[in-house]
């Protein structure tokens, strides 16, 4: 089980779910002309999951000392999996992901697209080994990579299907995926800051430069609160700009996205302890899930 847990299957599930919803909910809703067959789409999902899983493994390898302070009961590398074995596991996943991406790109006649997986793999390694310790930049990078996991579906499924000019359906569905990618980026960025608040003790020992360490918990918590309020405002503006006429979608957004975020703000304002930040982090992950599931609305509502 240790080899499964080190991959962080819950995070991988969100990637698979988001990509499947884009392919089988958003694109059909607009009758979008796409390039990937079901089998080829499976290769895209597999490549994405393998690269992301490899990133999770290398992150655990580099965070052993920090995790011994922050999450002593959840340390896997060095306890249940040796560091050498974990590193070999990382290499295997990475190589398999890049090869899968290369096979997919060649089957589409766009071999240059394989470079995306190589770049993402390199960025994940750089993040876990160096960039993670940098003030804010590490949070921004990992959030950008989360957004890319959605946008990659457009790059592989719509871009190769464009003939002379992009069609209206391709443009609309691509724009919608971009909106969801921005949503994922913002929520993940806030969650990364919350996780830094939760893990401040271990991060300080690891000489990390996080907002929580540089500004302190109180000021950083206020920043999280402000970012969350701005996110809610952005979602409400989006609702009344793009889905105002779809009452079921509006209700879904209000009850399952906006309301939980308002509750997050309330709990965030008075948060001070580690377990409170852990709760906030889990709550944001739930909002990310409900946010992604709203993609179903464009096909069925």
289-299, pLDDT tens digit by residue?
999 999 999 87
Contact of 211 with 193, CB cutoff 8 Å: yes
Is the pLDDT at 181 greater than 70? The verdict is yes
> Exposed/middle/buried for 117, CB within 10 Å: 0-12, 13-18, 19+?
buried
Average pLDDT estimate for 174-185: 97
Average pLDDT estimate for 28-47: 96
Using N-to-C axis directions, what is the helix angle for 274-293 and 9-21, rounded to 10°? 20
pLDDT at 72: 67
Query: Measured between alpha carbons, how far is 98 from 109 in angstroms, rounded to an integer?
Result: 16
Average pLDDT estimate for 253-281: 95
Contact of 213 with 204, CB cutoff 8 Å: yes
Where do the structural domains in the chain lie, given as residue ranges? 2-300
pLDDT confidence bin for 80, thresholds 50/70/90: confident
Contact of 223 with 215, CB cutoff 8 Å: yes
pLDDT at 83: 83
Query: Measured between alpha carbons, how far is 67 from 231 in angstroms, rounded to an integer?
Result: 30
Is the pLDDT at 204 greater than 90? The verdict is no
Contact of 78 with 60, CB cutoff 8 Å: no
pLDDT at 188: 97
pLDDT at 171: 95
pLDDT confidence bin for 282, thresholds 50/70/90: very high
Share of the chain above pLDDT 70, in %: 97
pLDDT confidence bin for 78, thresholds 50/70/90: low
pLDDT at 64: 74
| Residue partners of 245: CB distance under 8 A and separation at least 6 | none
pLDDT at 79: 72
Is the pLDDT at 71 greater than 90? The verdict is no
Average pLDDT estimate for 138-163: 96
Using alpha carbons only, give the angle 187, 192, 195 rounded to the nearest 5 degrees.
Answer: 125
Class for the domain spanning 2-300: mainly alpha
pLDDT confidence bin for 301, thresholds 50/70/90: low
Query: Measured between alpha carbons, how far is 55 from 127 in angstroms, rounded to an integer?
Result: 9
Is the pLDDT at 246 greater than 80? The verdict is yes
Query: Measured between alpha carbons, how far is 90 from 6 in angstroms, rounded to an integer?
Result: 10
Contact of 231 with 193, CB cutoff 8 Å: no
pLDDT confidence bin for 190, thresholds 50/70/90: very high
Name the least confident of 19-28, 50-59, 71-80.
71-80
Predicted confidence (pLDDT) per residue in 125-142, tens digit: 999 888 988 889 999 999
């Amino acid at each position: 089980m240790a080899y499964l847990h080190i991959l962080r299957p819950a995070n991988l599930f969100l990637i698979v779910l988001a990509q499947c919803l884009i392919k089988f909910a958003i694109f059909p809703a607009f009758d979008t002309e796409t390039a990937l067959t079901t089998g080829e789409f499976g290769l895209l999902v597999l490549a994405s999951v393998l690269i992301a899983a490899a990133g999770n493994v290398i992150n655990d390898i580099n965070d052993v000392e920090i995790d011994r302070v922050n999450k002593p009961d959840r340390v896997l590398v060095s306890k249940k999996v040796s560091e050498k074995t974990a590193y070999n596991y990382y290499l295997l996943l990475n190589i398999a992901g890049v090869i899968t991406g290369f096979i997919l790109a060649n089957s589409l006649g766009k071999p240059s697209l394989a470079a995306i997986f190589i770049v993402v793999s390199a960025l994940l390694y750089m993040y876990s080994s160096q960039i993670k310790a940098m003030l804010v930049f590490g949070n921004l990078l990992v959030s950008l990579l989360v957004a890319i996991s959605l946008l990659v579906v457009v790059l592989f499924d719509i871009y190769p299907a464009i003939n002379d000019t992009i069609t209206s359906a391709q443009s609309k569905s691509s724009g919608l995926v971009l909106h969801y990618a921005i949503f994922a980026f913002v929520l993940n960025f806030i969650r990364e800051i919350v996780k830094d608040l939760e893990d401040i003790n271990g991060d300080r020992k690891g000489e990390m430069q996080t907002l929580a360490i540089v500004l302190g918990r109180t000021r950083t918590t206020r920043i999280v609160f402000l970012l969350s309020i701005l996110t809610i405002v952005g979602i409400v503006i989006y609702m009344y700009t793009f889905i105002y006429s779809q009452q079921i979608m509006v209700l879904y957004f209000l009850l399952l996205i906006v309301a939980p975020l308002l509750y997050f703000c309330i709990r965030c304002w008075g948060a001070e302890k580690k377990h409170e930040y852990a709760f906030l982090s889990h709550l944001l992950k739930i909002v990310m899930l409900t946010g992604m599931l709203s993609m179903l609305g464009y096909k069925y509502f």
